[in-house]
Amino acid sequence: MISGIHFHPELKRVFEELGFLELTDIQKKTIPLIQQGKDVIGQSKTGSGKTAAFGFPILEKLTHNNGLQALILVPTRELCEQVMTEMRKFAKYKRMNIIAVYGGVSINPQIHDLRHADIVVATPGRMLDHAERGTIQFSRVKILVLDEADKMFEMGFIDDVKRIISQIPKDRQTLLFSATISQHVHDIVKHYMKQPEKIKVQEYVEEAKLAQHFYSVNSRDKFSLLVHLLKTQAPGLTIIFCATRNRVDVVSKNLYKHGIRAQGLHGGLSQNRRKQAIDAFHHGKIDILVASDVAARGLDIKNVKHIINYDIPKTSKEYIHRIGRTARAGEAGKVISLLSEQDHDNFRSVLGDRSLVIEQLKLPEFQRIPFFASVREHHGFGRGFQRGGRFGFQRRSPYSHRREGSSGTGHHRKPYHSREEGSSESGERRGGYHRRRFR
């Protein structure tokens, strides 16, 4: 028995081996209900332990080699891989075929694997593709999980999800997990769930340990400030969020050119490259992940110390999703937003959430460095670098001979410096944020 909850011996063993010393709130409240066979709505933020909350009780209910018995729908390929990996860990001592099904990869291996699957974790589009091809059978599905439901519906999958649900037996158990309860979520609950129990838990991010700051900086100096902060604050594992795929590519490649171990992550990359980036970050091979909002939710990325908003998100909701990657489970975290003239409209929108306390910091002295607004995939990489240094490389360059921050802003010639493009999601209006604290 764990915290008043009974698990089968093979699940209890792996639960303890994985270091679950105690259950999170969402786990304590939902696991008993799922074990009782009830439909459940779990409202909780990223990082609350939702996968274990539905994963362990699902595994208790299933029998190997009895057809597809559980379907877990998720919004993104990354989350699909993550949930599959976690479920396989949970099933370490219980034989179970658990597969991931998503687009962007060959469908043929999936067709083969589906014949023997007990549990499928899938994105809606590819799952519907299999359903229309007749390469999957739903007749034995006993449990349906909609994970990150609000995100799934925001991405336009509501109709696909409804078409999939219509093919699953009505006497199933339905579990829905969502950070927010949107109108689409209400619609699914009303039409496809049976007297569900609703569980809502508090934010798992510890706000008392989350420092939120911003710098007001000219757009042409934003990248120079970013490099200065990364090199002087020793931030540890850091996620830098950008507004567009192109910005992710440009910023990550410029960081690489300046000797900083960073890798980009966005939806335009191949599945293999995205997986490589996530694995490298997980295993400490890189310190910095430059990401679009595809990484803001769903990914289980532990021990992130810093979040840097290179571009300000459009809404407070997206801001909160981003900062939810740090200050988890008692650990301290820091959020730094780099606010330039293109970001003011978005920042006003973020500050519409009165619960956010974001304090302005005095702009430090830093050296302006080259920023290439367009960097080709391979052009110039590997030239001018040698192994060594805290970030894995040291830059050999005729214009980087002075120490970072030694000359102050605006006192260093910048013959190669290009003005950064403005965020495609923000306006051009200047704001009056100087020397103010926002509550």
The pLDDT value given to residue 427: 31
H helical segments located in 268-374 = 271-282, 316-323, 344-350
When pLDDT is cut at 50, 70 and 90, the band that residue 47 belongs to is low
Q: What pLDDT, in 10s, does the model give residues 213-259?
A: 999 999 999 999 999 999 998 678 899 999 999 999 999 999 989 98
The pLDDT value given to residue 101: 98
Q: What pLDDT, in 10s, does the model give residues 130-151?
A: 999 999 999 999 999 999 999 8
Distance CA 285, CA 263 (A): 10
The pLDDT value given to residue 392: 37
Query: Could you tell me what percent of the chain has a pLDDT over 70?
Result: 77
- Tell me which architecture the domain covering 207-438 has in CATH: 3-Layer(aba) Sandwich (3.40)
Q: Is the pLDDT at 402 greater than 50, yes or no?
A: no
The pLDDT value given to residue 21: 54
Q: Is the pLDDT at 196 greater than 60, yes or no?
A: yes
Looking at 20-29, 103-112, 331-340, 395-404, which range is the least confident one?
Answer: 395-404
Q: Which residue has the higher pLDDT, 406 or 265?
A: 265
Distance CA 187, CA 340 (A): 40
Half-sphere exposure of 168 (CA within 13 A, CB side): 24
Q: Is the pLDDT at 370 greater than 80, yes or no?
A: yes
Domain 9-200 in CATH 3.40.190.100: no
Q: Which residue has the higher pLDDT, 10 or 68?
A: 68
Summary mean pLDDT of the chain: 81
The pLDDT value given to residue 430: 33
The pLDDT value given to residue 396: 35
Q: For residues 54-90, b (16+ Cβ closer than 10 Å) or e, as one string?
A: bbbbbbbebeeeeebbbbbbbbbbbbbbbbbebbbeb
Query: Could you tell me what percent of the chain has a pLDDT over 90?
Result: 53
Q: Show me where the domains of the chain are located.
A: 9-200, 207-438
The pLDDT value given to residue 439: 39
Q: What pLDDT, in 10s, does the model give residues 309-331?
A: 999 999 887 887 788 766 554 45
Looking at 63-67, 219-223, 272-276, 361-365, which range is the least confident one?
Answer: 272-276
Which among 17-21, 43-47, 116-120, 395-399 has the top mean pLDDT? 116-120
Residue 40, H or E segment: strand 40-43
Task: Examine domains 9-200 and 207-438 and report if their fold is the same.
Answer: yes
Q: Is the pLDDT at 125 greater than 90, yes or no?
A: yes
Q: Is 241 strand, coil or helix?
A: strand
Pairing of strands 210-216, 70-73: unpaired
Pairing of strands 437-438, 358-360: antiparallel
The pLDDT value given to residue 399: 32
The pLDDT value given to residue 378: 40
- Across 6-28, average pLDDT: 80
Whether this prediction's pTM lies above 0.75 is answered by no
When pLDDT is cut at 50, 70 and 90, the band that residue 22 belongs to is low
Q: What pLDDT, in 10s, does the model give residues 167-187?
A: 999 999 999 999 888 999 999
